[in-house]
Structure 1
Amino acid sequence: MRRPPRFLALAANFLLATALLATPATSAHAHSGSSAPPPPGIQIPSLTHGQMAVIARYRGDILDLAQRQTLTDPTFRRLYNHGNLQFTYCLWGLMPGSLGDEESPFNECSHAYLATAKALLAYMATMPTAAGDAKALISDIDADMVRSGASWILCQYSGEAFSTGAVVEPRWRNVFLHLPSLAVLLATIAALIGASWAVLGGPRARTA
Structure 2
Amino acid sequence: MAVIADHRSAILAVASRQSITDETFRRLLNYANIQYSYCLWGIVPGSVEDENSPFNHCSHAYLAALKALLLHLTEDGNNQAAVTLAGAIELDMLRRNASLALCVHSGGSFNTAEVVPPAWADVFTHPPSLVLFGGVLLASSCAGAAMLRLGRSRKN
Q: Answer yes or no: same fold by TM over 0.5.
A: yes
For residues 63 and 164 of structure 1, the distance between their equivalents in structure 2, rounded to whole angstroms, comes to: 17
Residue 200 of structure 1: how far off its partner (Å): 3.4
For residues 206 and 184 of structure 1, the distance between their equivalents in structure 2, rounded to whole angstroms, comes to: 35
Residue 126 of structure 1: how far off its partner (Å): 3.0
Q: Is the alpha carbon distance of 1:105 and 1:97 closer, same or farther for their aligned partners in structure 2, counting shifts above 3 Å?
A: same
Residue 206 of structure 1: how far off its partner (Å): 5.5
Residue 54 of structure 1: how far off its partner (Å): 0.8
Instruction: Tell me the residue number matched to 1:107.
Output: 56
Amino acid at match of 2:100: W
Instruction: Tell me the residue number matched to 2:140.
Output: 192
Matched, 1:171 2:119: yes
For residues 57 and 113 of structure 2, the distance between their equivalents in structure 1, rounded to whole angstroms, comes to: 16
Kindly provide the CA deviation profile for residues 13-61 of structure 1, in whole angstroms up to 9, marking residues without a partner as x. Answer: xxxxxxxxxxxxxxxxxxxxxxxxxxxxxxxxxxxxxxx1111111110
Deviates more, 1:149-158 or 1:170-179: 149-158
Deviates more, 1:182-191 or 1:79-88: 182-191
Percent identical residues: 48
Matched, 1:54 2:8: no
Residue 151 of structure 1: how far off its partner (Å): 2.3
Structure 2: give runs of 5+ residues left out of the alignment: none
For residues 23 and 146 of structure 2, the distance between their equivalents in structure 1, rounded to whole angstroms, comes to: 47
Matched, 1:131 2:82: no
Amino acid at match of 2:105: Y
For residues 61 and 90 of structure 2, the distance between their equivalents in structure 1, rounded to whole angstroms, comes to: 19
For residues 75 and 111 of structure 2, the distance between their equivalents in structure 1, rounded to whole angstroms, comes to: 19
For residues 139 and 196 of structure 1, the distance between their equivalents in structure 2, rounded to whole angstroms, comes to: 49
Instruction: Tell me the residue number matched to 1:144.
Output: 92
Q: Relative contact order (alpha carbons < 8 A, sep ≥ 6): 1 or 2 greater? A: 1
- TM (normalized to structure 2)? 0.92
Residue 196 of structure 1: how far off its partner (Å): 2.1
Q: Is the alpha carbon distance of 1:174 and 1:206 closer, same or farther for their aligned partners in structure 2, counting shifts above 3 Å?
A: closer
Instruction: Tell me the residue number matched to 2:105.
Output: 157
Residue 201 of structure 1: how far off its partner (Å): 4.2
Question: RMSD over aligned Cα, in angstroms?
Answer: 1.7
For residues 109 and 149 of structure 2, the distance between their equivalents in structure 1, rounded to whole angstroms, comes to: 49
